[in-house]
């Protein structure tokens, strides 16, 4: 799977700062925005902007993060994974259609547990060959692609464009960066975070993206993976 | 595919009427509600309620329809179809997980184009056997169900519970009842409408669920299926 | 402010159980639903349903709660409060319109801090008289109601019908039941919870509605009100 | 009211094209994006991109428009208008809080019907003075700002930052650009459209923003304003 951040809200820190500041100030947003960008005086320092964002996130005033959007190219994720992904409803997806696009070569995801087991891998690859063959034959027989695709397995690769705002990304990462998340969707959001981290002006935002245990201060799952102590150890008994 | 309406907002017409009337009246909603149910005087007649709903829908004041919710049991739809279905984001879905539930017998949807073509059907059924066999063998080898499911094809049946409000259902049916919609999701919403139509107190609501051409007065697609004339015939040239 | 639960999803525990069970079972939802209602054998006990819901909520699998909807009549809340309320976007609102409905007598909310201060109260009530008078005069001069309403203050009462699902209610109550929430919207959700608590079959659900400190095990605000210890006391330093 | 487009998705046409093309192509989105920007060969022409968007919008495949976001500074709109505005739930708002920000001078919107009527205007302005005075006195008496604001009228100005995606903007403009929309929110969206129109790379997108009659080919309201013929004239009798 290849994940690339292809587009994002320019000047994201300035944008979120302008939104947050508008709530608590008599100054209009256009003027705050101008000072945040350093286009008018007194300019607002990056330190001050980051410090407001820190407080905003700590206090749970998350809606100001919605003004920052990220658009990702996601290539080669399995249809199993894309079916999970699009269940996150506060985001926009444009996905390669199996109704219109014909299957090409080498278009399958092999799970690590299967890749690492010779016998399983042989079964899997033989099966993939039979799936491709069945698909080709059905298309040759004149079955429409939208029906021939019924033989395509969950392993089939798909491509998506996904736009998600930073508030939702913050929420989704709490669940999907958890070591207990299903491996492929976890890999997807690990890569999403890495893409954001790579860009200097976004790097500070990437640091907010954490599994829920880091944000809560404890692991709320029945068994902790060990990264953080479990809730009962920290809070004690009771709910 | 078996679709059953298992639950819905009681007294739906009274609920939507109370919501609509609240917008235009100094009377409080609890009192309107009581009169709509006939529990206090002067009771509101069903004719008056239906007539207000007619005007509300004709004028596009659709938000009052959101107070009516329907919960459906959907059994035996393909994973191809469920992947399409959950792209309608303004609804709630609880879907059978292939990560936790092991595949059983006879769990596949066969598209009509394949069912009606002996050669295609033979290929399809042989393929399904090989998919089942590969799945069984992977599970036997100790591959976790969440990875073994990578061989399961789009044809694999799934179950869902879906709750959708009437405004969204009205919008979705405009697209999915169109004869150009993909056959399985169209079948799903044809059955959804039939389930609503069966219940006497809901029957009037079912009649609002129509493909978009009926609502618009013309077919906006490039080629009409013939049910309604195309937009260019009705409106003339231009956008 | 008078809040009344006027309608809700029948058999809500059975509905959420059916949704949750569908995810982890090969049994179809229609059959689970039938057994949950006790209409077929083996019937599912209420204890088993509550115990599954407990686990589902503890583990954060909140989406199954979306299938339960509540519809409230809210009368006599201020326009200040309704403006806050409708910012919760995952809900449906039908609100009395000031564009179409003419202001009547005694239609104002007086905040407790003003009610309890004779001087402030005198100023407030004199002001309300002048607002009513200005409104009446503007309407008499032929100014449309939608423009005359520009003199109506935040204190003006409004009515709403609100439908919110149980997942969103669970989320909103975490913020609005906090003692630091603005008093009127807190009063609204205290009454919402009390309405749910009154109905025997919903009483167990009401108990899940808690301010966030009860759910987290600590107060995440800068200063705790004392109900729970602050995060830094429980978790220690660091984020 | 002053509306300024302060930020937007860079290369919006390229972004929407990449999303749309991904659905119908075996080419990955990163590669489409690169060719759309002209960074790799064969570059995609602007004509081809616009022509795909035209078809996408004509056919109702609106979701690809969600990847384009706009952020506006809105200054000096009335609280009456902001209460209407935030009812559009598929958008992000950060609004100046009357709980935290103290009222300043000259902060009121005067409706044109009142501005143009000397007697009404005198009543209105005298009333505004009394509102300001009451507010000042309450604050002096130690009433918290969050309660003193109960005297502030709907005419009070507010500031917002609003981020809305292009699909939602397209939908909202159909309702709010209609000559029958309430004058202030119509003015807001007329200015929103003008701001988009001003920027050369967005100008083509602005042209899609139209009242619903232009999009439908007829006026669906009971009485047409004359811009387009009414539905019954175009479609004939029946629903």
Question: What does the pLDDT look like over B43-70, one tens digit per residue?
Answer: 999 999 999 999 999 888 899 999 999 9
Report whether pLDDT(D239) > 60: no
Report whether pLDDT(A154) > 50: yes
> Which of A94, A90, A49, A52 has its CA nearest to residue A69?
A90
Q: Chains meeting C at 3+ CB pairs closer than 8 A? A: A, B, D
Q: Report yes or no: D64 and D20 within 8 Å, Cβ to Cβ.
A: yes
What's the mean pLDDT in A189-202?
97
**Percent of chain C, pLDDT > 70?**
98
Q: Report yes or no: B165 and B86 within 8 Å, Cβ to Cβ.
A: no
| Chain mean pLDDT for chain D | 94
pLDDT in the model for residue B22:
97
Report whether pLDDT(B215) > 60: yes
Residue B92: how many other CB atoms lie within 10 Å: 22
pLDDT single digits (tens) B218-238: 999 888 999 999 998 998 755
User: In angstroms, rounded to a whole number, what is the distance separating the alpha carbons of residues D140 and D132?
Assistant: 12
User: In angstroms, rounded to a whole number, what is the distance separating the alpha carbons of residues B233 and C9?
Assistant: 46
Q: Which residue among C111, C117, C153 sits closest to D153, beta carbon to beta carbon?
A: C153
pLDDT in the model for residue D106:
66
For residue C49, what pLDDT band results from cuts at 50, 70 and 90? Answer: very high
Kindly provide the ipTM of the predicted complex, given to two decimals: 0.95
Report whether pLDDT(C48) > 50: yes
Residue A96 phi, psi dihedral angles, 5° rounding: -55, 125
Closest-CA distance of chain D to residue C113, Å:
6
User: In angstroms, rounded to a whole number, what is the distance separating the alpha carbons of residues D21 and D13?
Assistant: 12
**Percent of chain A, pLDDT > 70?**
98
For residue A239, what pLDDT band results from cuts at 50, 70 and 90? Answer: very low
- What is the full DSSP assignment across B169-236? HHHHHHHHTSTTS-HHHHHHHHHHHHHHHHSGGGHHHHTT---HHHHHSSB-SSS--SSS-BHHHHH-
Q: Chains meeting B at 3+ CB pairs closer than 8 A? A: A, C, D
B153 to A151: CB separation less than 8 angstroms, yes or no: yes
For residue D31, what pLDDT band results from cuts at 50, 70 and 90? Answer: very high
Q: Is-catalytic flag, B115? A: no
Instruction: Give me the half-sphere count of Cα atoms (radius 13 Å) on the Cβ side of residue B131.
Output: 30
Helix axes A46-58, A12-23, angle to 10 degrees: 60
Helix axes D166-176, D183-198, angle to 10 degrees: 140
User: In angstroms, rounded to a whole number, what is the distance separating the alpha carbons of residues B23 and A106?
Assistant: 58
Weakest mean pLDDT among B188-202, C218-232, D187-201: C218-232
pLDDT in the model for residue D33:
98
Report whether pLDDT(D115) > 50: yes
pLDDT single digits (tens) B91-133: 999 999 998 887 776 689 999 999 999 999 999 999 999 999 9
Residue C230 phi, psi dihedral angles, 5° rounding: -75, 160
> Which of C168, C216, C150, C162 has its CA nearest to residue C67?
C168
What's the mean pLDDT in B19-40?
96
Chain A contact for C218 (CB, 8 A cutoff): yes
pLDDT in the model for residue C39:
97
pLDDT in the model for residue B105:
64
| DSSP H helices in A87-226 | 112-115, 118-140, 145-148, 166-176, 183-198, 203-206, 212-216
Q: Report yes or no: C20 and B94 within 8 Å, Cβ to Cβ.
A: yes
By CA distance, what is D69's nearest residue in A?
A: A69
By CA distance, what is C119's nearest residue in D?
A: D141
Q: Which residue among A59, A220, A234 sits closest to C235, beta carbon to beta carbon?
A: A234
pLDDT single digits (tens) D41-96: 999 999 999 999 999 998 888 999 999 999 999 999 999 999 999 999 999 999 99
Torsion angle of alpha carbons D169, C86, A63, C234, nearest 10°?
-160
CA distances from A77 to A125, B84, D22 (A): 17, 17, 14
Tokens 């995606």 belong to residue: D165
pLDDT in the model for residue C239:
42
Q: Which residue among D90, D146, D151 sits closest to C153, beta carbon to beta carbon?
A: D151
What's the mean pLDDT in A207-235?
93
pLDDT single digits (tens) D171-206: 999 999 999 999 999 999 999 999 999 999 999 999
Tokens 């709660």 belong to residue: C65
A149 to B151: CB separation less than 8 angstroms, yes or no: no
By CA distance, what is D156's nearest residue in C?
A: C150
Q: Report yes or no: B139 and B102 within 8 Å, Cβ to Cβ.
A: yes
For residue C106, what pLDDT band results from cuts at 50, 70 and 90? Answer: low
pLDDT single digits (tens) C158-198: 999 999 999 999 999 999 999 999 999 999 999 999 999 99
pLDDT in the model for residue D194:
98
pLDDT single digits (tens) C57-102: 988 889 999 999 999 999 999 999 999 999 999 999 999 999 888 7
Closest-CA distance of chain C to residue A57, Å:
11
User: In angstroms, rounded to a whole number, what is the distance separating the alpha carbons of residues C16 and B72?
Assistant: 12
pLDDT in the model for residue B239:
42
Report whether pLDDT(D105) > 70: no
């Amino acid at each position: 799977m290849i994940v690339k951040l292809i587009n994002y809200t320019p000047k994201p820190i300035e944008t979120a700062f302008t939104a947050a500041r508008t709530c608590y100030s008599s100054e209009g947003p256009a003027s705050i925005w101008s000072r945040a960008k350093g286009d008018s005086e007194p300019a607002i320092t990056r330190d001050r902007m980051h410090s407001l964002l820190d407080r905003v996130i700590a206090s749970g005033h998350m809606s100001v993060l919605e003004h920052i959007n990220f658009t990702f190219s996601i290539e080669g994720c399995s249809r199993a994974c894309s079916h999970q992904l699009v269940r996150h409803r506060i985001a926009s997806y444009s996905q390669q259609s199996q109704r219109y696009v014909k299957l090409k070569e080498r278009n399958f995801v092999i799970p690590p547990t299967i890749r690492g087991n010779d016998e399983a891998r042989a079964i899997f690859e033989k099966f993939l060959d039979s799936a491709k063959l069945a698909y080709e034959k059905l298309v040759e027989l004149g079955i429409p692609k939208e029906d021939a695709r019924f033989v395509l397995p969950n392993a089939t690769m798909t491509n998506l464009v996904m736009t998600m705002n930073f508030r939702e990304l913050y929420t989704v990462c709490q669940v999907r960066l958890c070591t207990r998340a299903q491996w492929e969707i976890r890999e997807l959001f690990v890569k999403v975070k890495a893409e954001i981290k790579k860009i200097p002006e976004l790097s500070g935002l990437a640091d907010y993206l954490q599994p829920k245990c880091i944000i809560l201060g404890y692991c709320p799952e029945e068994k902790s993976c060990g990264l953080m102590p479990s809730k009962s150890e920290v809070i004690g008994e009771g709910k």
